A and B are shown apart, each in its own frame.
Chain A
Amino acid sequence: VTNANADDLDHRLRALADDIAVADRSVQDTLTRGRRRVRRLRAAATGLAIVLVAAGTAAVLRMRPEEPLTTVGITPGPPSSTVVVPVTESILVRDADGWERNCLRIALGAEATEGCLTPGTTLWKVGDRYVVVGYGAMVVDGVEYRAPKGEETLAPLRPGQSFASVEGDSSGHCLDTAVLDALAAHDPTARAYFGLSCGADVQFAVVLERPHQDPPHTTRTIVLERIDGRWTVHGEPTEQLCPTLPPPGPANCDHIVSQRRARTSTTTN
């Protein structure tokens, strides 16, 4: 490849920008549009509902903004296995950007989780455990987290999809009972795993640790590696969750990560 060819490609790529017409828009118009959008989304989110899709031993819990809150519906899924997860409360939380959003508190087993799931999150129930997969993010005490590599490998799930039909290169591995067994063996007290990031042989699981009340370290990330067909848990995290956006104030992701590392160390020691 000659430099001339490279220059030509660069030139053509830059020229694409000239072809995408962008009309002028005043600051005021843009802010008006942005505020209206936020109000509209907020109103839509009040209509969150939970739809539970049973699929064998697994069930999908999905919040659907277009359905009313009072509806806890069971949609058909082969084969039928109904699990009702009660909505305990609809709450308004403030995310890392100071942005309010509607969420639901849901009951996980005997305990209500303090975090809430954002619209679009899919919660799978596998046995007596719950796993959040797909592009879902988690909001804990107003700060949104997502697995750092989760979005790389997972495709969004749709209601009614079973394990076998999940899109994505390896998302089915997230729901492998062997993975959950490995997690459970590592931490028998953890009941909910969030933000699993799927790789064929390495996965990251975020364990919700309810006994701890301070927001950043209510979760921790553990790493699983498949060696010779068996999932092995590496106890200490090598990946950490970061807020989707920098939180208000001077804190940034590094700050939170360092806090969490210190606290995780305290917890595990």
Chain B
Amino acid sequence: MTMAGDRAVTSFDDWYVGVRPRLMRAITALVGDPGLAEDLCAEAFTRAFRRWPHVATEVRDPDAWVFTVAVNLARRSWRTRLRSPPTGVPAAQATTDRVRDVDLWRLVQALPRRQRQVVVLRYLGDLTEAAIADVLKTSPGAVSASLTKARAALRAGLTEGGSR
């Protein structure tokens, strides 16, 4: 680790190791396709790597930055419906097959898109509300409101379903 001004600069490798599991989980949950999620995360990290000196020293929150890139790529993949052929690198490094709390998982998947994004970024991506606001280009207040609505919807769904 080095210092740039008063800011500690993590090496790309260290940063990658810390953020990748969170990013992979969140993007997998958002796109619902582990192989595509890995592709998107790989592209996001590749972009970060190419610009690492800038990202590491001038971007306020590199974690939010790479989440932003990945979420934008996910949006683009939804827009274009562009599905990628195999890359030659083993795919599907994340899976949701082992989710034990199936009731809650289904309810999360059924949330309106923005609420689902906020929940996934908060709990699977482990981002702060401020970082989520950065990623989704909205205000922290809007993120907080979406989280509140989402929690209420999840709670209601769990009650209706008699879960727990």
Residues of A at under 8 Å CB distance from B?
Answer: 1, 5-6, 8-10, 12-17, 19-23, 25, 27, 29-38, 40-41, 44, 65, 97-99, 119-120, 134-136, 148, 151-152, 156, 242, 244-246, 248-250
Tell me whether B29 is interfacial, beta carbon within 8 Å. yes
- For B89, the chain A residues whose CB sits under 8 A away are 29, 32-33, 36
CB of B80 within 8 A of CB of A31, answer: no
**Interface centre among B80, B114, B119, by most A CB within 10 Å?**
B80
CB of B87 within 8 A of CB of A99, answer: no
Docked complex Cα distance between A31 and B72 (Å): 18
Docked complex Cα distance between A134 and B79 (Å): 8
**Interface centre among A20, A37, A44, A65, by most B CB within 10 Å?**
A20
Docked complex Cα distance between A136 and B72 (Å): 12
CB of B91 to closest CB in A, whole Å: 9
Docked complex Cα distance between A13 and B25 (Å): 13
The size of the chain B interface, using a CB distance under 8 A, is: 66
A22-B20 contact in complex given A9-B151, A33-B89, A245-B69, C-beta closer than 8 Å:
yes
Docked complex Cα distance between A19 and B123 (Å): 12
Docked complex Cα distance between A5 and B154 (Å): 11
Tell me whether B54 is interfacial, beta carbon within 8 Å. yes
CB of B79 within 8 A of CB of A33, answer: no
CB of B88 within 8 A of CB of A119, answer: no
Contact among B12, B88, B98 for A19, CB-based, below 8 A? B98
Q: Could you name 29 residue pairs across A and B whose Cβ atoms are closer than 8 Å?
A: A1-B152, A9-B158, A13-B123, A14-B123, A16-B99, A16-B104, A16-B108, A16-B123, A20-B24, A21-B98, A22-B20, A22-B21, A22-B94, A23-B94, A25-B38, A30-B41, A34-B43, A36-B87, A37-B39, A41-B84, A98-B51, A119-B82, A120-B81, A120-B82, A135-B79, A152-B114, A248-B51, A248-B54, A249-B54
CB of A22 within 8 A of CB of B25, answer: yes
CB of B25 within 8 A of CB of A20, answer: yes
Docked complex Cα distance between A32 and B75 (Å): 22
Residues of B at under 8 Å CB distance from A?
Answer: 12-13, 16, 20-22, 24-25, 28-29, 38-39, 41-47, 49-51, 54, 58-59, 65, 68-69, 72, 75-76, 78-82, 84-85, 87-89, 93-101, 104-105, 108, 114, 119, 122-124, 126, 137, 151-152, 154-155, 158, 164
Given contacts A22-B93, A36-B87, 5 further A-B contacts (CB under 8 A): A16-B108, A21-B98, A44-B82, A65-B82, A120-B76
CB of B123 within 8 A of CB of A33, answer: no
Contact among B22, B45, B80 for A65, CB-based, below 8 A? B80
- For A13, the chain B residues whose CB sits under 8 A away are 104, 108, 119, 122-123, 154
The chain A residue sitting closest to B17, CB to CB, is A27
CB of B63 to closest CB in A, whole Å: 14
What are the 10 tightest A-B residue pairs by CB atom distance, in nearest-first order?
A: A34-B46, A120-B80, A34-B42, A135-B79, A33-B42, A120-B79, A13-B123, A19-B99, A23-B93, A33-B89
CB of B43 within 8 A of CB of A38, answer: yes
**Interface centre among B38, B46, B98, B137, by most A CB within 10 Å?**
B46
Contact among A21, A35, A135, A148 for B75, CB-based, below 8 A? A135
CB of B110 to closest CB in A, whole Å: 14
The chain A residue sitting closest to B28, CB to CB, is A20
Docked complex Cα distance between A23 and B137 (Å): 30
The chain A residue sitting closest to B154, CB to CB, is A9
CB of B81 to closest CB in A, whole Å: 8
CB of B99 to closest CB in A, whole Å: 4
Docked complex Cα distance between A218 and B36 (Å): 35
CB of A229 to closest CB in B, whole Å: 29
CB of A60 to closest CB in B, whole Å: 15
Docked complex Cα distance between A245 and B108 (Å): 28
